[in-house]
Amino acid sequence: MKKPVLVGIVIVLVILGVIVYSSFNLASHRYEACMTFNGQTNCRTASGSTEAFATRTAISNACAAIASGVTDSIACEQSQPAKLTKLK
């Protein structure tokens, strides 16, 4: 094998390794949020690199299924969760 081809393969493998390694370490916090809005309740789980990010993502995901439109989504996301559980 020629030297430039070998160097190219090594570089690609290193980049792929970094991507795989970083994706495994991002989900260090996991939360389940249950939101109640307009008489409906929905629960969703989310993972994130920080507690705040995981919590906010779980709340947004739960609100997405029970709120319709931008105004309702914002109102739902600003309300307190009916239940917030740390899973990891």
Tens digits of residue pLDDT in 12-43: 999 998 888 767 666 688 999 999 999 999 99
Kindly tell me the number of DSSP H helices and DSSP E strands found in the chain.
3, 3
Within 10 Å of residue 49's Cβ, how many Cβ atoms? Answer: 12
**Minimal CA–CA distance to 59: which of 38, 19, 31?**
31
Please state the length of the chain: 88
Q: Taking all residues of the chain, what is their mean pLDDT, rounded to a whole number?
A: 89
pLDDT of residue 44: 95
Q: Contact at 8 Å (CB) between 31 and 81?
A: no
pTM: 0.70
